[in-house]
Amino acid sequence: MKILFVHQNFPGQFPHLSGALARRGHQVLALTDENNERPSPVRTVRYKAPRPVEGGSVLGRTYSTMAERGLLAARGARALRDRHGFSPDLIIGHSGWGETLFLKEIWPQARLLVYAELMYRTQGHDVGFDPEFQSGSDESRFMTVARSAHLIQGIAQADAAIAPTRYQADSFPPDLRGKITVIHDGIDTARVKPDPEAWLQLPGLPRMAAGDEIVSFVSRSLEPYRGFHIFMRALPDLLAARPRARVVIVGGDGVSYGGAPPDARSWKEKMLAELGDRLDLSRVHMVGRLAYPDYLSLIQIARVHCYLTYPFVLSWSLTEAMAAGGYVVASDTAPVRELVRDGENARLVPFFDVQALSAALIRGLEGDRDAARLRQAARQTILDGYDLQRISLPRQIEWVERQGAMG
């Protein structure tokens, strides 16, 4: 088959799938943003990067932005068709960026498959979950509805869709949910695994190794969506109870989800100001973003890994920490409960309960008698349901090739 992947940051969610399909003899091509510098496992062609959309209705701005990217992706696709005679049997894209919106107009005979990451909802998900930082007003709900327009159109146009978790698939309305197959992206358990000899040396910090009292917290950006404020508020009691403990916090100062704080340059700055001298910064290491090998070493050496999230997209860091045999303390929120069972493969705490979180972290550091069992069960959960080579990738390949046979 001829298969075209479309993703502004290719390979995005498709590094393993695209390469595997190429190795199986399919002709695989990727269409991506001209500014994307990420290495690709397959040949790429590029479309012109869109300019920021200015003016117009605030409610329509998200759709205008995504449609503009979709227009430029479609022009790139048209050039592939007209100049090179390329006509794919399958198009695989991420519906969240708008790139797939007009591709059926270029290749109406191609089957369109989309990665359905999440649909924004006004109830039961992230919107209004945290009253401290979210207004829950009518206006905010109106904005949420408007932000979903391109997502609904993207999956409505698609012949089929894939989502990494049931929680994310179930965020879509029932009449669209039927198009979605749930297959996780997959975790490379041959690489992400326990290592009792692991160690980590970061600039300006003491050498850390397995056996040390290390608490790890990882997020793309340090922000409320990933419970950064709750985690920070739990640290004074944790550090007071465990004088040898160190906390390593990984994440950037920007905003990936939600908004910036109105009274500080970043959420990190805001929380440091709130906690002041209650926080022993000699034992709290905010290291920014780490190279993957250093990140992997961190989750391998951590005695406790903390993962908190609003009801939202599940982070790879949770599944990777579990694959590494981590002792995980996580928020008792819907996306987490899909793979974590309290007392069976991790410890769950109510998202907003700072005291319960600090107590759970302390318990993990001082020696939970069930720690070895929980660590083993955490890894087994990933091996049984999320393993890249044995489970996820074979299912993804079968799904794609089955869709191709229906064309």
Residue pLDDT, tens place only, 309-345: 999 999 999 999 999 999 999 999 999 999 999 999 9
Cα–Cα distance list, 22 to 6, 43, 82, 401 (Å)? 15, 10, 24, 12
Q: Is 394 exposed, middle or buried (0-12, 13-18, 19+ CB in 10 A)?
A: middle
pLDDT for 140 equals 83
Question: Rg of the chain over CA atoms, in angstroms?
Answer: 22
Q: Could you tell me if residue 278 is inside a domain?
A: yes
Co-location of 162 and 142 in the same domain: yes
What is the C-alpha to C-alpha distance for residues 304 and 306, in angstroms, rounded to an integer? 6
pLDDT at 56: 77
Distances (CA, A) of 348 to 23, 216, 271: 41, 16, 23
> Which are the contacts of 398, defined by CB distance < 8 A and separation ≥ 6?
none
Residues 218 and 336 in one domain: yes
94-128 tens-digit pLDDT: 999 999 999 999 999 999 999 999 999 988 889 88
Inter-CA distances, 406 with 113, 160, 174, 175, 398, Å: 12, 11, 23, 21, 12
Determine, yes or no, domain membership for 100. Answer: yes
Q: Is residue 64 part of a domain?
A: yes
pLDDT(391) > 90: yes
Q: What is the pLDDT of residues 252-271, one digit of tens each?
A: 999 999 889 989 999 999 99
Distance CA 60, CA 149 (A): 9
Q: Is residue 191 part of a domain?
A: no
What letter would DSSP give residue 96? G
Q: What is the CATH number of the domain that holds 19?
A: 3.40.50.2000
237 lies in the same domain as 329: yes
Q: What global pTM score does this model have?
A: 0.94
Q: Residue 241: its pLDDT value, please?
A: 98
Half-sphere exposure of 400 (CA within 13 A, CB side): 27
Element containing residue 90 per DSSP (H, E): strand 90-94
Per-residue model confidence (pLDDT) at position 134: 75
| Domain co-membership, 219 together with 163 | no
Same domain for 251 and 365, yes or no, is yes
Do 396 and 283 lie in a common domain?
A: no
pLDDT confidence of residue 333: 98
Same domain, 181 and 284: no
* CA-to-CA separations, 267 to 41, 253, 295, 365, 391, in angstroms, rounded: 36, 7, 22, 26, 38
Tens digit of each residue's pLDDT (9 = 90 or more) over 41-51: 999 999 999 98
Q: Looking at residue 363, what is its pLDDT?
A: 98
Whether 154 and 259 share a structural domain: no
Cβ neighbours for 340, distance < 8 A, ≥ 6 positions apart: 318, 322, 328, 330, 346, 348, 381
Model confidence at 53, pLDDT cuts 50, 70, 90, reads: confident
Residue 205 in domain: yes
Mean model confidence pLDDT for the chain: 96
Q: Looking at the 3D structure of the chain, how many domains does it have?
A: 2
CB atoms within 10 A of CB 137: 10
pLDDT at 348 over 80: yes
Give strand pairing partners of 306.
217, 329
**In the prediction, which pLDDT does 16 show?**
97
Q: Residue 194: inside a domain, yes or no?
A: no
Please tell me whether residues 214 and 179 are part of one structural domain: no
Query: What pLDDT does residue 133 have?
Result: 85
Question: 234-256: b or e for each residue (b if 16 or more CB lie within 10 Å)?
Answer: bbbbbbeebeebbbbbbbebebe
Asked whether residue 372 falls in the same domain as residue 256, the answer is yes
Give a yes or no: residue 232 inside a domain: yes
CA atoms within 13 A on the CB side of 54: 2
- Residue 192 falls inside a structural domain: no
Task: Check whether residue 31 and residue 165 sit in a common domain.
Answer: yes
Cα 210 vs. chain centroid, distance in angstroms?
26
Range of the domain at 210: 199-385
**Which amino acid is it at 120?**
Y
Answer yes or no: is pLDDT of 135 > 80: no
Q: What was the pLDDT predicted at 178?
A: 95
Nearest C-alpha neighbor of 63 from the set 9, 122, 127, 120: 120
Over residues 367-393, the mean pLDDT reads: 98
Yes or no: say if 283 and 365 are a contact pair by the CB < 8 Å rule: no
Give the per-residue pLDDT at 148: 94
Q: Give the separation between CA 374 and CA 115, rounded to whole angstroms.
A: 32
Are the beta carbons of 142 and 89 closer than 8 angstroms?
no
pLDDT value of residue 137? 82
Summarize pLDDT for 219-264 with one digit per residue, the tens. Answer: 999 999 999 999 999 999 999 999 999 999 999 999 999 889 989 9
Both 180 and 136 in one domain: the answer is yes
Write the CB contacts of 357 (distance below 8 Å, at least 6 apart in sequence): 230, 231, 234, 306, 308, 329, 349
Say if residue 57's pLDDT is above 90: no
Q: What is the pLDDT of residue 222?
A: 98
Interval 391-399 mean pLDDT? 99
What tokens appear for 345 in the block?
């493969």
Q: Of 187 and 144, which is predicted with more confidence?
A: 187
The residue type at 320: E
